[in-house]
């Protein structure tokens, strides 16, 4: 993997994962949490996503081929999961649950749950990121140097994501309750549109194949 290829991999994953775009979504998902709890969710989520993308680099294509699962089918499934999250955000169900939750201490299990779903999967290591990683690693089977560079690129992207999540916490200081409600619902609409696009692209590719 030469410099141009490494740069292409970096740009591809950066655009696909979109750390800056995920920051306000992270903010909405962690409403009611303290700074420490948000940091815990951010660190755990990015670590899990990094692990998934590393595993994908080495075995993603093999696993999907073995199970007979296409990346298009995975895209449809991820889109449906995102739509469920978007539905809760738009209609305030997630906010209501968060308010009830914050009446008591947030447990480690709840923090772990949010970090895994929907943060790590499918927002970070979703269909787009996994498919991009599989495509980038296709020609690197047996090429340890190339695989190491790709892993370095993934690590840098995850560090950028972590930084964007840490910065997002400070934005919360300038948002009141009304601001949070508006932000959550707007992001819910955006998530809904994104999820529909995931499903549409996946269905279209499935029919085309």
CB 56 within 8 A of CB 133: yes
Residues 6+ apart with CB under 8 A from 182: none
Average pLDDT for the chain: 81
Instruction: Provide the 10 A C-beta neighbour count for residue 68.
Output: 7
Q: Which pLDDT score, from 0 to 100, does residue 105 have?
A: 41
pLDDT tens figures, 37-77: 889 999 999 999 999 999 999 887 787 788 888 878 877 88
pLDDT average, residue stretch 15-26:
84
CB 158 within 8 A of CB 49: yes
In which band, very low, low, confident or very high, does the pLDDT at 96 lie, cut at 50, 70 and 90? low
Exposed/middle/buried for residue 101 (C-beta within 10 Å: 0-12, 13-18, 19+): middle
Rounded to the nearest 10 degrees, the angle between the axes of helix 71-90 and helix 177-208 is 160
In which band, very low, low, confident or very high, does the pLDDT at 181 lie, cut at 50, 70 and 90? confident
Report d(CA 56, CA 64) in Å as an integer: 10
pLDDT tens figures, 81-90: 778 878 887 8
Report d(CA 182, CA 154) in Å as an integer: 33
Q: Which pLDDT score, from 0 to 100, does residue 191 have?
A: 79
Instruction: Give the residue numbers spanning the domain of 176.
Output: 3-208
Q: Which pLDDT score, from 0 to 100, does residue 180 have?
A: 67
pLDDT average, residue stretch 120-145:
82
Q: How many domains does the chain have?
A: 1
Residue 167 has pLDDT above 50, yes or no: yes
pTM over 0.85: no
C-alpha dist (Å) from residue 74 to 22, 79, 99, 192 = 21, 9, 33, 17
pLDDT tens figures, 188-206: 888 788 788 888 988 998 8
């Amino acid at each position: 993997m030469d410099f141009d290829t490494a740069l292409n991999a970096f740009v591809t994953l950066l655009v696909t994962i979109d750390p800056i775009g995920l920051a306000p979504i992270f903010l909405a998902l962690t409403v009611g949490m303290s700074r420490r709890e948000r940091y815990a969710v951010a660190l755990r989520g990015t670590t899990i996503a990094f692990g998934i993308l590393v595993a994908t680099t080495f075995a993603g294509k093999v696993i999907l081929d073995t199970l007979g699962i296409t990346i298009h089918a995975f895209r449809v499934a991820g889109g449906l999961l995102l739509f469920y999250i978007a539905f809760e955000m738009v209609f305030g169900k997630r906010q209501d649950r968060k308010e009830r939750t914050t009446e008591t201490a947030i447990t480690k299990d709840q923090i772990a749950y949010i970090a895994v779903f929907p943060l790590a999967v499918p927002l970070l290591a979703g269909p787009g990121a996994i498919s991009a990683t599989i495509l980038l690693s296709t020609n690197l089977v047996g090429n340890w140097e190339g695989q190491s560079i790709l892993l370095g690129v993934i690590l840098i992207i995850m560090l950028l994501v972590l930084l964007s999540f840490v910065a997002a916490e400070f934005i919360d200081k300038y948002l009141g309750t009304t601001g949070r409600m508006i932000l959550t619902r707007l992001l819910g609409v955006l998530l809904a549109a994104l999820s529909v696009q995931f499903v549409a692209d996946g269905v279209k590719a499935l029919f085309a194949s």
